[in-house]
Structure 1
Amino acid sequence: MTTISAPPAAPAATPATLLGAERCHLGEGPAYDAARDTAWWFDIVEKRLHEARLGTGAITAHALPVMASALAMVDAERQLLVTEGGLALRDIASGRLESVATVEADKSGTRSNDARVHPGGTFWFSTMGRAAEPGAGTIYAFHAGSVIPLFRAVTIPNAICFSPDGTLGYFADTALGELYRVRLDPVSGLPLEAPSVLHRHGGAGGLDGAVTDAEGLIWCAIWGGARLNAYSPAGDLVRSVATPALQTSCPVFVGPGFDRVLVTSAWEGMDAATRAADPEHGRTFLIDIGAKGRAEPRVRLGGL
């Protein structure tokens, strides 16, 4: 069933804490390493990876040699980054990158975008045109050591996330305002059917990054809408929570109880007047939304 949302009422006000004062040109791809109580997020355009130790509040910005947009934890020492050239292992201690798989090496006009790990360890990630060219994006799965194209001709692939039991996958095409659902093999994380439209977004802004909570609600950042929307697995808009920045880009649950949400934002495409009207543009926040998440799965590099 496809649900079309009416423009929502004013989002509920929620407590928000400024995590990072630095403004990201294009903040995206937040991830949380529960073992280290450390959050990570990217400034895609400026080629930076931000590391925040939540217990102490210490934040470090790591320069990257390439544009990157998302990561997954491999183990205590390594991360798998989604970059403009493909997938790369990053050694956390040294920052050294090692190529794992090239992706779209013949397409200089595309870059990486959204990603999330399936409960079975398969890593879904996406590409898109650098200028959001229509149909230039693809969603891939990194499964059993191979990169597998799943869905092609997506303009701005976003909102990749999974039901807690791994039987459902979700993603959006921001350009079309459509959120999709697809039934998955819960072990492999690969599709069992073609995706169907779950929800059509109405009102201001567009569907951006998303994460599911422990109950299976889909929490989606609304770029240009200054809010997080929560959708049920049936496609109903059930909650809307205000965020401090207009161009909210992606959430992830953080903290020992996974009871707060880290939210990134961006100032990409804003002129001086728009930035002045949005004083928190590009900053990163912790928000209490009254929901609990769960630990993000680690990506599996080899065979299942």
Structure 2
Amino acid sequence: MAVKHPTSQANPPWHVAVPAAAELGEHPLWDVRRQRLFWTDCAAGTVHCSDLGHDTVVWTAPDGAPIGVSLLRACGGLAIATHEHIVLLDSDGRADRAPIELPIDTAAVRFNDGSCDPAGRLLVGTTGGEADGLGELFSVDADGRVRRLLGDLTEANGIGWSPDGRSMYFVDSGRPVMYVFDYDAASGRLGERKEFARIDPALGYLDGLTVDEAGNVWVAIWDGGRLHRYPPDGQLCDVIDVPVSRPTCPAFGGGDLGTVYITTARGEVGEPCAGHVLALPGAGRGIAPHRFAG
């Protein structure tokens, strides 16, 4: 059997899309309705919206606490995992429903990354920081019903689905493995957990991910300064250098969903792009993000 060797793209034409200098930029989302890029500065507790010419803070955590993730809603608003619960905002930025409470111990864990499945459920994970095994993954239905999907995690992170919605990819950043599950979008049930891809821990940590229209999984490598691309067979096929040591999460956007945007975190001194949202045009074509139906 032939062995596949990944293509290395050194010094690709990244440019600064949003000069943010965020402490911890995370989870970019392209809103195809408004043609805007949403992203989160988790450490600052702020949610941003950019037309790629002007960046606006559209929501700030009332207590200034860090937040986990912000996701698009079907109604046009946002679902934001704060320190304590999930806040639901309408398209004008006003709360239009009571917050959704999840059964977590906020003194021990915090919300981390999340995503929405093809049926409009919201999946969000938690992390206990350095404490291994405290993290969990939850699913939230449109009516607010909460189910626990996974436990014994270190840092629930990137989540994405294959184009047909039948496979779910998941990263626990405390482990050097990306998993894939059979996924039933009708019920939201997970099938057997299988290893999809593995990384040498010396190269960094698996972080946020996105899936393109061809089914390739793109994952940021924290402390590795790279973006990896895996086709559906899980064999690494592309290693794309990113000009920061701590890229956090990629997403496809732009009018044709043909540009990769990637959020980043502040890193070592001497990284002028650290904390900015970067863009790489022409890398592929993505899928519009699913929206929370609640």
CA distance in 2, matches of 1:144, 1:194: 25
1:41 equivalent in structure 2: 39
Give the % identical residues.
27
2:209 equivalent in structure 1: 210
2:276 equivalent in structure 1: 283
2:290 equivalent in structure 1: 297
Shift of 1:22: 2.2
Change (3 A) 1:77 1:176: closer
Shift of 1:53: 1.4
Please tell me whether the aligned partners of residues 8 and 238 of structure 2 are also in contact (alpha carbons under 8 angstroms). Answer: no
2:176 equivalent in structure 1: 177
Please tell me whether the aligned partners of residues 119 and 164 of structure 1 are also in contact (alpha carbons under 8 angstroms). Answer: no
- Structure 1 residues 139-158: Cα deviation after superposition (integer angstroms, max 9, x where no partner): 11112421111010110111
2:57 equivalent in structure 1: 61
Please tell me whether the aligned partners of residues 122 and 299 of structure 1 are also in contact (alpha carbons under 8 angstroms). Answer: yes
Shift of 1:221: 0.5
Matched AA of 2:276:
R
- Structure 1 residues 93-141: Cα deviation after superposition (integer angstroms, max 9, x where no partner): 2454754311245331211111111112122111111x33211111111
Shift of 1:222: 0.6
CA distance in 2, matches of 1:188, 1:293: 25
- Structure 1 residues 47-95: Cα deviation after superposition (integer angstroms, max 9, x where no partner): 11111013xx111124222432222222354211122212110234245
- Structure 1 residues 226-285: Cα deviation after superposition (integer angstroms, max 9, x where no partner): 111011222110111121211000011111110001100012xx5xxx222x22211111
Please tell me whether the aligned partners of residues 78 and 89 of structure 2 are also in contact (alpha carbons under 8 angstroms). Answer: yes
CA distance in 2, matches of 1:125, 1:150: 10
Count of aligned residue pairs for this structure pair: 286
Once the two structures are overlaid, the 10-residue window that deviates more, 178-187 or 72-81, is: 72-81
Aligned counterparts, 1:199-278, within 5 A: 199-202=197-200, 203-267=202-266, 270=267, 274-276=268-270, 278=271
Please tell me whether the aligned partners of residues 174 and 206 of structure 1 are also in contact (alpha carbons under 8 angstroms). Answer: yes
Structure 2: segments with no counterpart, 5+ residues: none
CA distance in 2, matches of 1:216, 1:101: 32
Matched AA of 1:61:
V
Please tell me whether the aligned partners of residues 241 and 289 of structure 1 are also in contact (alpha carbons under 8 angstroms). Answer: no
Once the two structures are overlaid, the 10-residue window that deviates more, 138-147 or 93-102, is: 93-102
Change (3 A) 1:94 1:163: closer
Shift of 1:10: 4.8
CA distance in 2, matches of 1:232, 1:247: 23
Change (3 A) 1:83 1:289: farther
* Matched position secondary structure for 1:237: coil
CA distance in 2, matches of 1:52, 1:197: 36
Please tell me whether the aligned partners of residues 14 and 288 of structure 1 are also in contact (alpha carbons under 8 angstroms). Answer: no
1:50 equivalent in structure 2: 48
Please tell me whether the aligned partners of residues 30 and 70 of structure 1 are also in contact (alpha carbons under 8 angstroms). Answer: no
* Matched position secondary structure for 2:269: helix
Matched AA of 1:119:
P
CA distance in 2, matches of 1:172, 1:297: 18
Please tell me whether the aligned partners of residues 118 and 165 of structure 2 are also in contact (alpha carbons under 8 angstroms). Answer: yes
* Matched position secondary structure for 2:158: strand
Matched AA of 2:289:
E
Please tell me whether the aligned partners of residues 137 and 157 of structure 1 are also in contact (alpha carbons under 8 angstroms). Answer: yes
Change (3 A) 1:104 1:29: farther
2:181 is equivalent to residue 162 of structure 1: no
Please tell me whether the aligned partners of residues 253 and 293 of structure 1 are also in contact (alpha carbons under 8 angstroms). Answer: yes
Shift of 1:46: 1.0
